[in-house]
Structure 1
Amino acid sequence: MDHSMSDDNQMTAIQHMQSWLSACDEQHTCKALTLDRPSWLVDTVEYCIVPGSNPNNYVALSYTWQDSASSENKEPFQLLEDNLQILTQPDSLRNHSQSPLPKVILDAMELTNRLGQRYLWVDRLCIIQDQETATISEVMRMDQVYVGAYVTIVAAAKFGLFDKLTATLSDPRFKNKGRFNEQSWEIRAHYSSVADSKWAERAWTYQEAILSKRVIFFCNRTAFWQCECATWDMKFLSPGKDLDETASAMSEFSLMRRFSVPSYPDFGLYMDLICPYNGRKLTDDKDGLSACLGILNRLAPSFPGGFMHGLPALFLDYALLWQPLKDCYRRTSTSKNARYLPSWAWCGWECFVDPWSFQASFCLDGNDSLRKDKAGSWRLKNLVSWEASSSVRGYDRLEETSDQLSTELPQLSVPDLQRKETNMTDPDRKLSTYGSMDNDIESTFLSCLAERAFFLPSATLRIEHNQPPLKRGIMRMFAEPILNEKPLSSLPSVVVLQNQKGVFCGLLRITGDAECERGMPMELVAISEGSASVKDMAMCFEEKVFQNSQYCHPGPFNAEYDSEGWWTGVSGGSSILDENNYEVVTEGDYEENRILSDNCLCKDCLCEAHLEDDAIREFYNVLWVRRENGIAHRVGCGRIIKDYWRQNEPEKMRITLN
């Protein structure tokens, strides 16, 4: 077994890391930005906490609190109001009477010192954990902490920096043998190791690596470097090799190279950042928004109007159409007096977000020709004027305009950025800007004057494996995320919608675990108009489920995927021995609807006979809502064919969402 950290040239791991830092300092521009300093830092020489106002470099640590749990079940050692003064005394981190410092923090302190740096930022020692105001303030500027770090240490190994509890920097038992001779495959292997770690499952760690300008990753038995310009390791990928080749190879896996503040509201970048974040795990669900505020803060300068619970005010109509990709659960906080995150925002749910649910927005991405091509015929038209509020009594209006976007972008209706006071109970109330995080956290209610109508569920469709499913692996979400639709059995249920006459009217994807009751009308709210060709619509998830259901082509099928794991269609044969063999089943106690089943090939069903039809289908984007004390809560999102919506005589009324 290889117990060293040296390569063929007998360089130690520390020497490798020092060479990475030196090469990046000399050759690259991806150095730490000079921003507001953290409030507190760990002095790794004096072993105490010091004010962060000193101008020296500091190293940041990204780790999971599970790695730092005490083996004796004592309270975790952390910075509190009561011990703040004590921990500012030299050697206080050695001689304190509380539970010992976690090994991952001790290892990070030693590494910081051996890299020639003195100061380390660790959240549990540099944020006063029992002082709510201080905690919120630090969380709101988490982007500045990591962007301002000289380098960030990512502890993604089994025991923080190492794969053994007894390992140290002197004998870390790393294997430095490369597995591949090609740079792109070596980089893929490194990121695969990170993706398989507990670190990659946690929500807070996601933004910590993305926000950092330079990162040293510690995985099981290996370590590697990532910055905005290169990826290096201790074997094949080293400073001095062709930088363009290395940068090109790493671009597939890292958002870091793209994540400088863009000069225009890049919805595509926003989507790439948010979709793989929202399914990560949190200890407390109330942090669903807080754990990504750093990312939103970095995007905010280029998004006029800022964000409303993570949704860009500028593109609110597009963002409200988010859909869960796989399993989806409502976030409910365990903290007393904590506000629930709103149901209309993705942060109110634990789920990876389906990037294809934003397909109508792909045409907004002026700098990404590939994504614009994927937009196809999908288009969206604004329908309502949204208003936001922290209570049900007063709202700040977002009026419609089309002059806020660059002339390079399509002239589409987007919410106005001007805020107008409509609170009749307090006309002197001061308004904050949408760019402030206070507003992002407080504005939990959305209101609009919109049309609503009631439709009936014909059936709820769900995809099942036709064999016992294989053990599910970890979804590989780190860096340039790999989102996919495997296995199909993990995808959400789809509701088939009909009117009172039993005519097919549309499809809807359930958010969470809401169930449809037989014969019970579903309240739908039209939030925007949309259009797409019949051919393009037939390729969306809901339509593919419907096409393979009892209404069109019932029975088992073998799923086909593209190279990225997205469901593209079905193959002719089927075998229960194939792991890709599925069947769409009907949930609930529903009577088979004769009009739907006997008229499957009518003009309103997108079956094979119509796949070549390029005619444009118009529809309404709708939210399925359920009410509590008069307030509407989102439980689903889908589309209703425009003609059938109008025939159903919708009523216009004020809708308040939370």
Structure 2
Amino acid sequence: MSLPSSDFRNIRHWIHNCDRLHTDCPPTPNQYRQPHEIPSWVLDLRNGCIVPGSTASRYVALSYVWSTIESEKLTLELWTGNLRQFQKSGFLDGMKQGFLPEVISDAIDLVKQLGERYLWVDRLCIVQDGRMKRSEIENMDNIYSGAYFTIIAAASPGLYVNLDRRHRAPMGVSFFHRYLYDKLLKSKWATRGWTFQEQVLSRRSIIFVNGDVFWDCRNSLWSHENPGPRKEAGEGYDTYSQKQIDNHEMAVTVPSTAFADFRLYRELVCLYSGRDLTYAQDVLSAFMGIINELSHTFPGGFVGGLPVLFLDAALLWQPFSKGKRRVWTQGRSEDADMPKTNLPSWSWCGWHAVVDPESLHVRSLEWLRPQMRTKPIVTWSVLSEDLRLERKLPESRILENYCRRFLDWGDWDTPPGWSRHDIRYPPPRNSTWTYCDTRSPKLDPNLFYTFTHISDPSKLFCHPIPMVNPGRKPTAHPQNWPYLHCEATTGCFKIQSILSRKSSAQVKREESRISSLHVPFTSLDKFHGGPEGEELCRVVSLTDADGQPAGLLRIMDDDTEIRPGQEIELMAISLGSMGWDETFSSYEERVDLLKSADYPRMEHSFVRDPPSDDEDGTGSETAPLTFRPRRAAAVETAHSRAARPWGRKGEHYRFYNVLWIERRGGIAYRKAAGRVAREVWERNCGEKLSVILG
């Protein structure tokens, strides 16, 4: 099977146009890169062998899925024992037939036809049993971002599957591009963990998905329906060359911003966290290229996949749907000398679950969360596998210091690179900006104050945030240290009731509602439509020792041992506050109060075990009450039936962010996360004690 001539002409045309029109797409040539940024080996297709990456002027990279069926065959891989053979001229030409997966053979042929000489393929360019394999894996950000372009093989088993499109009905360009990405998202390639960073880090890609091939770079998306501009540079540029997809998973790139972009981090984590890995212990390695890239702008670096600067907020992550623990997978020889410590329960990387984007917010960045605030109350440190080494994480307190410093307006000068903008209060009716309340009693009380950074004036902040010193190396914490340590208060509470999704009780909404919502990446089907009914997370309501309402938890897995009346231990990790409306629209509160989980395309009803006194088991249980503004009267009626620790409309809810912990061998493991009302917690908690989270 070969590539149709029309597709081959298009590919050459796309490469040529991107080279001449997009100055920010082509990578830095190898001769101008640092030695550690270049792969150790690349395939020299002219001589049929591997050569040091430093000898190649540029190279093409391949992103594909390792087939479990092929792994049982005698496939060619680079090992210490055959390293010398691989370097002999003509070796690969003689071994290619029958010893390489079809996708690699197709990629070799394509690169040759395009006139390129060098190709990087992981199984042929990384010594699979070599001592440098770990460093090569951690260098993925440089390998893929430095490639001339990347071939993404989302087709199976080879690149050229069903590329005959003569009988396909024509469709509009914008619709067709969405169709392409939908196909890509449904491919096996898009479910695998390793392929995520390979696409995200690539500056430009040729994507093969069953029946189609298209070009995706930082500026344009071209396909056979829209092959791109035909004019020379400076003579015009067709508007359809620019990306027409607002919200698509595979078009994410890591831009070069000068500040720590928590919103970008949130998007990347939510899109990656639910992906599959053959070996669970690879979950951070397969994300390490992205972490390396982000570390250049995140003061304090990362621990367990969480940014230290935003650690208190990042620890509040919640699953979007039911998950399960990622447990160390046995059977791989290179893992023999590594400690078999399970992945941290406190981080998303320790769970196979899609992270709920609504659970990750930082007030300093999220203008759509004007009344939400998280304040640190503990000092964190990270511990080694044997618990003998400890490293403090002082950067986790810096953000709160900035919050206090710059929200007390008029006392401090704006840091270099930042600008303050004064906006008259109230904002104009036709304004498209949403402001947090940054009016100052010390200055004009009728002014809002917003901040922007010179690197991206379009992004608004409530206050400046810490920056990485330009000449300083990124902070590198050991990512495999699985323990967090702090001094925290704990308390015992009882499970009052458990709310589970009611079997077969769901209402599907009209599809037309989707287009009315313009939400970043969350408009993807897996977020926009909500989880499958049986995958909805359960909610636990808590009481204190006196039987008074205390708070709510979101259960992360399908544990059948959880029961009403069970006494559990909680630890407080931060203080929080938010407005009544924000509290009432959260997943846990909707489920607890209305017994309904409401998504743009689906709503589900829940049943309480055991039923509360005001539930008759009929009407309130069978007719889900959906939380919308027009249901305000019904909401108030429901609210009046039970005392809520978060107060009534117009009030602020002040609470402690808590983790349900289970202790085993002196180590505490996260079981669930949620909130307990501040006054309830302070009435029931004990003295601070040392807690090690594993």
Q: TM-score scaled to structure 2, two decimals?
A: 0.77
Match of 2:267 among 269, 272, 276: 272
Match of 2:565 among 500, 519, 527: 519
Instruction: Report the equivalent of 2:216.
Output: 226
Match of 2:353 among 333, 351, 361: 351
Match of 2:534 among 464, 489, 499: 489
1:364 aligns with 2:386: no
1:401 aligns with 2:398: yes
Instruction: Report the equivalent of 1:137.
Output: 135
Distance 1:42 1:338, change over 3 A: farther
Measured after TM superposition, the shift of residue 466 of structure 1 is 1.6
Instruction: Report the equivalent of 1:618.
Output: 654
1:528 aligns with 2:570: no
Instruction: Report the equivalent of 2:6.
Output: 12
Measured after TM superposition, the shift of residue 392 of structure 1 is 2.5
Distance 1:199 1:274, change over 3 A: same
| Aligned equivalents of 1:211, 1:251: Cα separation in 2 | 19
User: 2:655·2:678 contact (CA, 8 Å) conserved in 1?
Assistant: yes
Measured after TM superposition, the shift of residue 512 of structure 1 is 2.6
- Unpaired runs of 5+ in structure 1? 165-171, 366-370, 419-431, 471-476, 550-556, 566-579
1:326 aligns with 2:326: no
Instruction: Report the equivalent of 2:171.
Output: 180
AA partner of residue 324 (structure 1)? P
Instruction: Report the equivalent of 1:435.
Output: 475
AA partner of residue 346 (structure 2)? W
1:249 aligns with 2:233: no
User: 2:219·2:243 contact (CA, 8 Å) conserved in 1?
Assistant: no
Measured after TM superposition, the shift of residue 593 of structure 1 is 5.9
TM alignment of 1:450-465, pairs within 5 A: 450-465=488-503
Distance 1:413 1:161, change over 3 A: closer
Instruction: Report the equivalent of 1:119.
Output: 118
Measured after TM superposition, the shift of residue 88 of structure 1 is 1.3
1:210 aligns with 2:209: no
Match of 2:155 among 140, 154, 157: 157
SS of the residue 1:296 aligns to: helix
User: 1:458·1:496 contact (CA, 8 Å) conserved in 2?
Assistant: yes
Measured after TM superposition, the shift of residue 111 of structure 1 is 0.5
| Aligned equivalents of 1:377, 1:460: Cα separation in 2 | 29
Instruction: Report the equivalent of 1:238.
Output: 228
| Aligned equivalents of 2:152, 2:250: Cα separation in 1 | 16
SS of the residue 2:546 aligns to: coil
Measured after TM superposition, the shift of residue 244 of structure 1 is 5.2
Measured after TM superposition, the shift of residue 45 of structure 1 is 2.4
1:55 aligns with 2:56: yes
| Aligned equivalents of 1:246, 1:489: Cα separation in 2 | 42
| Aligned equivalents of 1:287, 1:219: Cα separation in 2 | 25
Output one character per residue of 1:500-538: Cα deviation in whole Å (capped at 9) or x when no partner: 222211100122334424433211110001111122111
Match of 1:387 among 381, 394, 398: 381
Distance 1:657 1:98, change over 3 A: farther
Measured after TM superposition, the shift of residue 46 of structure 1 is 2.3
Instruction: Report the equivalent of 2:179.
Output: 189
Measured after TM superposition, the shift of residue 351 of structure 1 is 1.0
Percent identity, aligned pairs only, is 34
Measured after TM superposition, the shift of residue 100 of structure 1 is 1.1
Measured after TM superposition, the shift of residue 412 of structure 1 is 9.7
| Aligned equivalents of 1:634, 1:175: Cα separation in 2 | 55
Aligned residues: 580
Output one character per residue of 1:348-367: Cα deviation in whole Å (capped at 9) or x when no partner: 111111010013x1x332xx
| Aligned equivalents of 2:536, 2:300: Cα separation in 1 | 33
Measured after TM superposition, the shift of residue 599 of structure 1 is 9.5
AA partner of residue 304 (structure 2)? H
User: 2:296·2:468 contact (CA, 8 Å) conserved in 1?
Assistant: no
Instruction: Report the equivalent of 1:577.
Output: none
Measured after TM superposition, the shift of residue 381 of structure 1 is 1.1
SS of the residue 2:54 aligns to: coil
Measured after TM superposition, the shift of residue 242 of structure 1 is 4.2
AA partner of residue 551 (structure 2)? G
Distance 1:434 1:602, change over 3 A: farther
TM alignment of 1:261-300, pairs within 5 A: 261-300=256-295
Measured after TM superposition, the shift of residue 494 of structure 1 is 1.1
SS of the residue 1:651 aligns to: coil
AA partner of residue 491 (structure 1)? L
SS of the residue 1:250 aligns to: coil
Measured after TM superposition, the shift of residue 5 of structure 1 is 6.6
